[in-house]
Structure 1
Amino acid sequence: MKDHAATQGACPFRGTRIGGAAGSEPGLDHWWPNRLKVELLNQDPPQANPLGRDFDYAASIETLDYDALKADVRALLHSSVEWWPSDYGHYGPQMNRMSWHSAGTYRIADGRGGSAEGMQRFAPVNSWWDNGNTDKSRRLLLPIKLKYGSQVSWADLMMLAGTIALEDMGLPIQGFAFGREDAWEADRATYWGPEGWNGKAPTEVPAAPQAGHPDQMVNRGLRWQGGPKDEHYDLENPLGASHQSLIYVDPEGPGGNGDPMDAARDIRETFARMAMNDEETVALVAGGHAFGKSHGAVPADRIGGAPEIAEMSAAGFGWHNPEGSGNAENTMTNGIEGSWTPNPTRWDNDYLTNLFKYEWKQTKSPAGALQWEPVDPDAPKTPDAHVEGQMNPLMMMTTDLAFKVDPDYRKVCEKFLADFDYFTEAFSKAWHKLIHRDLGPVSRWLGPDIGGTFIWQDPTPPVDHPQVDAGQIADLKARVLGTGLSVPDLVAVAWASASTYRDSDKRGGANGARIRLEPQRGWAVNDPARLDRVLDQLEQVKAAFDGEGAAKISMADLIVLAGCAAVEKAAKDGGHDVEVPFVPGRTDATAEWTDAESFDWLKPVVDGFRNYIDAAVGYHVAPERMFLDKAALLKLTAPEWTALTGGLRVLDQNWDGSDRGVFTDRKGVLSNDFFRELVSMDYAWTPEDADEARFALVERDSGKTRWTATRCDLVFGSNSELRQVAEYYAGADGEAALVRDFVKAWHKVMMLDRFDVKAERKAAVAFC
């Protein structure tokens, strides 16, 4: 009691002091590093958003004066302020870099990163070394943001500023779409690599499963071998940068080794993980380096801390530079100093011309960074960005020379050198893809100038026929159930189609029915033999129905509708009469408008909903952590995650037909059997292997195995937060609650990609 009394009224944030120095007391993750962070499903809650639940950003954009906003951005580009003067009298290159570094965090493996929520405003991204001084760019934009207020998000304004900058400097653009709604708190789920990680790690891998880093919820399978000669290194999957605090790669070469060929290997892997091919990669880098300069006037050890650790007197700025004015000719960003072209604010082909025309020798910047300058003393010079009349040698980075020495990159460069118009179009299209890649389908795109249609947008055709009405929906449900297909069959195909959705970049989902197409049709997790059988029957139902009247049903709609009919039957067989909502309007994509390679990235490595683990890929993370990640990508709450898993288990949804976790003797009936058996004290959970990946549930009385299970089953009974929900569903009144919540969560998943039906989707997502 004495100790307790002594702490009354004490500061709850013990262990830190004014000035930002960290204390010595370890935190939650130190004491329980293997804790499953269920709270990651509660990110960016409505309570954090001052705009309120009813704010309609699409309606806001409709009132926006687009031309006036563009004019304000252009005026800013041609200005200069004393506290952060513009290079060459033009903020264009600086704004372009800010936009690039925001969008460039996107990675195709899990769809995370990118520009869609303006995450460059928050830690850790705002404090990465590679984002040095992007805080100044956003502060320069602040007067415009304040002028337009909530009419335009930070995320959209940041992308617009870089795009208008390119257009102002001479690049024709493909258009611009609004639609990026701001987050209001930092992203706590995305694993960017361990803090302080300096690049590559040896390929020796520990036995799986392991907890890994506390924040790690992703696969760390080996995808790439590269690095210095005779040494093999692993670029951790799905990370899109060669080491922590970079957007892509070390501009001095891997580990600062100055080897352009090693740099080429890093570039190819990191840009591929950003969904860019060789031509798009060269276009982006060569196009981006046509503008502006790099800054390395002051050694890194003279520069202050990033925004998240800066003193309060810094007013939110980071990287305080004590040299001279701390800016202009004294600016320090990445340590490399100089410009690539003689005309850094004009769109031209000088970057590639100079790269290939001249030989380059290694030198050092004033900050001590490795860089390159022309061997020929008569090579063109570039004007200093701030000192009038001063001319400086051209500069190249090790990563620039990579395009000259790598044979495949060189072919692309030579093509661009021979045809500047083609290069211009390639860069314009690659930029458009870069800043819109995570914006989702075009139905989410807003504004008067969204541009054309590209395959990377995952397009689906418009609806061109009358939709089914309530009576026809009921008729179709009866026809589907009359085919003889089982409840597990119909549920499996609908779930496989819809659950490809990931909210990180709004890709996947049931719309388009790409479950019919490669690569999804051949994924082992989708049980191709069953999938073929079900699709064949549904195609026959569709053909018969479409021939009877004006209304038509797409395969995308029919697959979902069939799953809904199966859930209704499963509930009724358990004594519960429910109606599963169904909203028509999906259309069928074609193979010609499906990028199979890109879609293959949506294939799960671990899908706990179907008890699937891709053993061929391998993993270093406990599967329940990756299961949590899957739930997060589906925007599920903890109760929704729990209800869906328990329901899918009794509906016999294991991908391989196994009985693991199927704690029921009534397969195909929607019941709470899974939860009643899970929380029962009648069983001992006995590991079947040293890694505790598989278990037997052994009857305490008889010693006989009653059920078998995986970690993805038992986590709902072992985790303290999830167990509370499981016990609720296991209770006397739990089955009715489970059926109710399963139906709601099922409808939510089926509707996640229905951005064309705003009101319905909002209702589906907001019920939780």
Structure 2
Amino acid sequence: MSEEIKIGGKCPFAGDSVGGVAGSEPTTDQWWPNRLKVELLHQNAPLANPEDPDFDYAKAFSELDLAEVKQDIKALLTSSVDWWPSDYGNYGPQMIRMAWHSAGTYRIADGRGGAGEAMQRFAPINSWWDNGNIDKSRRLLWPIKQKYGAALSWADLIVLTGNCSLEVMGFPTYGFAGGRIDAWEPDTLTYWGPEAWYGKKIEDAPRGPFEGHPDQMVNRDLRWTGEAGDDDYDLEAPLAASNSNLIYVDPEGSAKKGIPEDSAADIRITFGRMAMNDEETVALIAGGHAFGKSHGMTPPDQIGFAPEGAPMESQGLGWHNPRGKGNAEDTMTNGIEGSWTQNPIQWDNSYLENLFKFEWEQTRSPAGALQWTPVDKNAPRTPDAHLPGVDHPLMMMTSDIALKVDPAYRKICEKFLDDFDYFTDAFARAWYKLTHRDMGPKARYLGPEVPQEDLIWQDPIPAVDFELVDARDIAELKAKILGADVSVSQLAAVAWGAASTFRTSDKRGGADGARIRLAPMKDWPVNNPDDLAQVLGVLEGIKRDFDGAQSGNKKVSLADLIVLGGCAAVEKAAQDAGVTLEVPFTPGRNDATAEQTDKQTFRWLEPVSDGFRNFHRDDIRYHVSPEQIFLDRAALLGLSAPEWTALVGGLRVLDVNAKGAYREHGVFTDRPGVLTNDFFVNLTSPDFEWKKVDDEGLTFTLDDRHSGETKFKATRCDLIFGANAQLRQLAEFYAQKGGHEKLVKDFAKAWHKVMMHDRFDV
């Protein structure tokens, strides 16, 4: 403390305002926008979670009386509160929308989104304009969440409330599974698209009170290519929604032009990106729109900020409506006003009946949004949701009319019209898939309402009905594998290729099931199909010999042998480098069949760029650099920065690269197949210099500073570990004295983590 402050008591802050508040200064991202954000691997750190480290959600959930929980939810659904009155005296429709929009962020390309962590509670999703007023639905549920506490996650409560809502309105749901575990902080890693909130580039985005005003969502050029109806019409991967801030498509049609045919094209692509076929798509739209209404009674420019921008006194509630009551008959949500049916709180087939019975003309809502009303003025009307004795014309959205004009969708609609029971079953199954798609295998499902049926989208694997191998068997099998005519590199590559398909996002992929031996995975170029076939042939022979020599019910699955072969290879490579260790191995996997494998959806797991194996398809148009894709793959594997670094250093010297254009790149060692720390030693050596080979800066050579001799080749996915400040510290850590043995141990630990990702049974 200065003498002036100490003696005179002068205020230490000069001027009229207090400066130096963390977060007010320009951020690192603003200074260096192209920096690789390695710290994103460490989101959802344990420090953010208030639960005790040993809290067991599965155990807590299993002790709930689910029937009592549902009774409490259903009592709430058929009530009404003054601050947010229920439409038609039933909160069911708005709660269906809440559950749908929570689950509907799922996308099959990278498995991100979905209801699994209740990310709907956090930015940016909580403030998307398509989620307008869903904050009210969750706030209505707070007393129930408060009552059951940690035993009922928000994620499970949101989906369960959607099911209860359907049931109170007469719909027979297919089932419900708990087991979703809440996140405790926003997801800052997922890429939701190139647009700013207004569908424009960030620097061009206007700022106004109604963040995400739908009328501004018109610039589709940043995520779409081609025109609707063209063969090249498509959406940037991995995106699924047609615009930023949407769950699926704009209800007013592509670019708000109100053209049903164009809307149908958007629907097919977006629902397909969310893992739904045509029949499931129609079932979800027709089933969901059997209930409730849309709200558009207040001009959007009068609505206040979304939750993240709302004033402090709003306490997390956004979209303040100053007109009239601010709710009920004055509600503004997506701008479209009206209901699809005559009885919006009863399950029936009137949505499809109305859609096909009447001709529809385009009109506008009080808020100015495009919508459709019957041409026949004598058509049935729908009651007002709040005013007794008042009724309104029926309403359809452009996305509804699309089902009528698209030939394939129309055929499905007609089938549903002819067979209401079939439609009911189709919607029940599609809703179940929608709300459970991101949960992964059934081993994670909890509760008494889990259906017994195995569904293809759950990637089923036969139950293990045989005695597992013991320690002695494992040792003998390792010896046979290492004695076979396959290399350490080949064994490690096959095991890594099988296990590294796993995604922490939707829990798909992994070594269990041995699907690497089936189409489409066996033919992926990244898996080196010829080497894969050779290794699988050897392992299948070892399996036959082992199973045939057993007198009892003891067997070994090919899935276990694939992983065991990789473990044996790592141990051998470490031993050859002078380090003795045992890589953990836990048997219990089984082999899936081709009939249990959905080829159409498994193709989304194929990497088009995989930095772990220096694979990068040059025929793909990328919007981000290879190292950005590499970081994303590391995140989907649930790796920390040290785990990522150790795995790459080990995989490079094990020589598991894909046999493509970059086959030799990154193998910075004269002893491939030996688990050394040579990758890091050579990467960080001042005796060499890196030189760019191509104009794009995708490939490089490592040249001796004195002789000029080219020593090694590299890609961006190699050099990033020396160029990025955070990753370089880790590279130097493994290159320094004592780093080799540490690398071997860290590699084996991270290897085991990846091999065990899909073992939800242990």
On whether the aligned pair clears a TM of 0.5, the verdict is yes
Q: Give 1:227 deviation, angstroms.
A: 3.5
Deviation sequence 1:681-701 (CA, Å, 0-9, x none): 111110001111000111111
1:324 alignment partner in structure 2: 324
What is the one-letter code of the residue matched to 2:387?
V
- The DSSP-based 3-state class of the residue aligned with 2:244 is coil
1:486 alignment partner in structure 2: 487
Counterpart contact for 2:229–2:265, Cα < 8 Å = no
Q: Give 1:237 deviation, angstroms.
A: 1.5
CA distance in 1, matches of 2:23, 2:189: 24
1:683 alignment partner in structure 2: 688
2:407 alignment partner in structure 1: 407
Q: Give 1:617 deviation, angstroms.
A: 2.3
Q: Give 1:606 deviation, angstroms.
A: 1.2
1:13 alignment partner in structure 2: 21
Q: Name the CA shift for 1:439/1:340 in 2 (closer, same or farther; >3 Å).
A: same
CA distance in 1, matches of 2:18, 2:285: 53
Aligned counterpart in structure 2 of residue 611 of structure 1, from 611, 614, 620: 614
CA distance in 2, matches of 1:125, 1:167: 27
Q: Give 1:704 deviation, angstroms.
A: 1.3
Answer yes or no: is 1:528 the counterpart of 2:529.
yes
CA distance in 1, matches of 2:238, 2:411: 28
Aligned counterpart in structure 1 of residue 740 of structure 2, from 735, 739, 753: 735
Deviation sequence 1:30-83 (CA, Å, 0-9, x none): 210110000110011111011121110010011111000010011011000000
Counterpart contact for 2:509–2:758, Cα < 8 Å = yes
Deviation sequence 1:83-110 (CA, Å, 0-9, x none): 0000000000010000000000000000
2:469 alignment partner in structure 1: 468
What is the one-letter code of the residue matched to 2:364?
K
Answer yes or no: is 1:508 the counterpart of 2:509.
yes
CA distance in 1, matches of 2:312, 2:54: 34
Q: Name the CA shift for 1:730/1:6 in 2 (closer, same or farther; >3 Å).
A: farther
Aligned length: 729
CA distance in 2, matches of 1:135, 1:286: 25
Q: How does 1:585-734 map to 2 (within 5 A)?
A: 585-656=588-659, 658-734=663-739
CA distance in 1, matches of 2:473, 2:667: 34
Answer yes or no: is 1:193 the counterpart of 2:193.
yes
- The DSSP-based 3-state class of the residue aligned with 1:438 is helix
Counterpart contact for 1:200–1:243, Cα < 8 Å = no
Q: How does 1:284-433 map to 2 (within 5 A)?
A: 284-433=284-433
What is the one-letter code of the residue matched to 2:128?
W
Q: Give 1:28 deviation, angstroms.
A: 2.1
Q: Which has the higher contact order (CA 8 A, sep 6+)?
A: 1
Q: How does 1:171-186 map to 2 (within 5 A)?
A: 171-186=171-186
Q: Name the CA shift for 1:232/1:515 in 2 (closer, same or farther; >3 Å).
A: closer
CA distance in 2, matches of 1:667, 1:231: 45
- The DSSP-based 3-state class of the residue aligned with 1:161 is helix
CA distance in 2, matches of 1:227, 1:395: 28
Q: Give 1:26 deviation, angstroms.
A: 3.7
CA distance in 2, matches of 1:270, 1:746: 36
Q: Give 1:27 deviation, angstroms.
A: 2.6
CA distance in 2, matches of 1:623, 1:336: 42
Deviation sequence 1:423-443 (CA, Å, 0-9, x none): 000000000000000011000
Q: Give 1:730 deviation, angstroms.
A: 0.4
Counterpart contact for 1:546–1:553, Cα < 8 Å = yes
Q: Give 1:199 deviation, angstroms.
A: 5.8
- The DSSP-based 3-state class of the residue aligned with 1:178 is coil
- The DSSP-based 3-state class of the residue aligned with 2:711 is strand
CA distance in 2, matches of 1:483, 1:332: 69
Counterpart contact for 2:234–2:269, Cα < 8 Å = no
Counterpart contact for 1:226–1:265, Cα < 8 Å = no
CA distance in 2, matches of 1:182, 1:259: 40
CA distance in 1, matches of 2:298, 2:530: 63
CA distance in 2, matches of 1:14, 1:562: 51
What is the one-letter code of the residue matched to 1:479?
K
1:22 alignment partner in structure 2: none
Q: Name the CA shift for 1:278/1:730 in 2 (closer, same or farther; >3 Å).
A: same
What is the one-letter code of the residue matched to 2:544?
A
Counterpart contact for 2:352–2:417, Cα < 8 Å = yes
Q: Give 1:615 deviation, angstroms.
A: 2.1
Residue segments in structure 2 that go unaligned for 5+ positions in a row: 3-11, 202-219
- The DSSP-based 3-state class of the residue aligned with 1:437 is helix
Q: Give 1:234 deviation, angstroms.
A: 5.2
CA distance in 2, matches of 1:222, 1:492: 37
2:272 alignment partner in structure 1: 272
2:114 alignment partner in structure 1: 114
What is the one-letter code of the residue matched to 1:655?
A
Q: Give 1:168 deviation, angstroms.
A: 1.5
CA distance in 1, matches of 2:620, 2:278: 25
1:765 alignment partner in structure 2: none
CA distance in 1, matches of 2:195, 2:597: 37
Deviation sequence 1:173-193 (CA, Å, 0-9, x none): 111000100000000000111
Q: Name the CA shift for 1:346/1:362 in 2 (closer, same or farther; >3 Å).
A: same
Q: Which moved more, 1:162-171 or 1:144-153?
A: 162-171
RMSD between aligned alpha carbons? Answer: 2.0
CA distance in 1, matches of 2:198, 2:18: 39
CA distance in 1, matches of 2:545, 2:221: 46
Q: Name the CA shift for 1:108/1:719 in 2 (closer, same or farther; >3 Å).
A: same
Counterpart contact for 1:197–1:243, Cα < 8 Å = no
CA distance in 2, matches of 1:231, 1:511: 37
CA distance in 1, matches of 2:370, 2:222: 30
Deviation sequence 1:358-414 (CA, Å, 0-9, x none): 000111101010100000011110000000010110000000000000111111101
